[in-house]
């Protein structure tokens, strides 16, 4: 395999939406084509993500506005994976943060700590368990260190029942990449990797 990791930029927007058009996020492919619009640095208030068409349209808009950030994994010219990685404090008003992340502590406003959050992985079904998510994770950490972030933070679920749609990644992958659990709650784990 010739795997390349590319940072999401506007010139890759069509590749991005095509990947979500054709890749199941979980068992309910049609109703759950998310296009990752709920994890972004835009305020959710007043947005309507109720249909696949609306989410796709927002995705293109968000890519051009640098609201959705992350990395695409390519095998030759085909996208086979996606990792959503954005600045933590920029994303606290997005839809998924407001719905699911009340257990995650925020940095105090008077600190200069910069945290890159990884919110989501989507890997093409035929490429699962081939190390694609780990390659994406390594790339996020490398770029975050170059960009002056102090930590990369992740939010895996604990319950194995979630794993059929576990977009948050697996705890073992993070441990193997140097992440440590900083908070263990009923809703899930918060894990961090120190970069400096």
Q: What is the pLDDT of residue 109?
A: 79
Q: What is the pLDDT of residue 43?
A: 96
Q: What is the pLDDT of residue 23?
A: 87
Q: What is the pLDDT of residue 164?
A: 43
Domain boundaries, the chain: 3-194
Q: What is the pLDDT of residue 30?
A: 56
CA distances from 162 to 19, 32, 101, 167, 169 (A): 23, 15, 16, 9, 11
Q: What is the pLDDT of residue 169?
A: 85
CA dist 144 and 195 (Å) reads 8
What is the reported pTM? 0.93
Q: What is the CATH topology of the domain spanning 3-194?
A: Aminopeptidase (3.40.630)
Q: Do the Cβ atoms of 32 and 96 come closer than 8 Å?
A: no
Q: What is the pLDDT of residue 158?
A: 67
CA dist 95 and 16 (Å) reads 20
Q: What is the pLDDT of residue 27?
A: 57
Q: Which are the contacts of 74, defined by CB distance < 8 A and separation ≥ 6?
A: 3, 4, 5, 6, 80
Checking DSSP bridges between strand 180-184 and strand 70-75, what pairing results, if any? Answer: unpaired
Positions in the chain whose pLDDT score sits under 50: 160-164
Q: What is the pLDDT of residue 102?
A: 92
Q: Do the Cβ atoms of 192 and 182 come closer than 8 Å?
A: yes
Tell me the torsion sign for CA atoms 168, 60, 86, 106.
negative
62 is written with which tokens?
Answer: 């968000």
Q: What is the pLDDT of residue 162?
A: 45
Q: Which are the contacts of 89, defined by CB distance < 8 A and separation ≥ 6?
A: 106, 107, 115
- The per-residue pLDDT for range 55-86, each reduced to its tens digit, is 999 999 999 999 999 999 999 999 999 999 99
CA dist 101 and 19 (Å) reads 26
């Amino acid at each position: 395999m010739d795997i390349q990791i590319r940072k999401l930029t506007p010139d890759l927007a069509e590749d991005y939406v095509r990947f979500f058009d054709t890749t199941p996020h979980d068992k309910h492919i049609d109703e759950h084509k998310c296009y990752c619009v709920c994890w972004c640095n835009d305020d959710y208030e007043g947005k309507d993500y109720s249909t696949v068409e609306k989410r796709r349209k927002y995705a293109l808009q968000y890519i051009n506005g640098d609201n959705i950030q992350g990395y695409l994994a390519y095998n030759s010219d085909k996208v086979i994976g996606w990792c959503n990685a954005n600045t933590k404090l920029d994303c606290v008003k997005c839809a998924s943060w407001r719905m699911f992340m009340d257990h995650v502590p925020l940095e105090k406003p008077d600190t200069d700590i910069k945290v890159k959050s990884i919110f989501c992985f989507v890997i093409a079904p035929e490429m699962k368990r081939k190390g694609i998510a780990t390659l994406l994770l390594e790339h996020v950490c490398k770029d975050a260190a170059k960009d002056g972030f102090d930590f990369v933070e992740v939010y895996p679920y604990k319950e194995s029942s979630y794993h059929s749609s576990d977009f948050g990644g697996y705890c073992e992958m993070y441990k193997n990449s140097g992440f440590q659990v900083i908070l263990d709650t009923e809703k899930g784990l918060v894990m961090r990797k120190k970069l400096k």
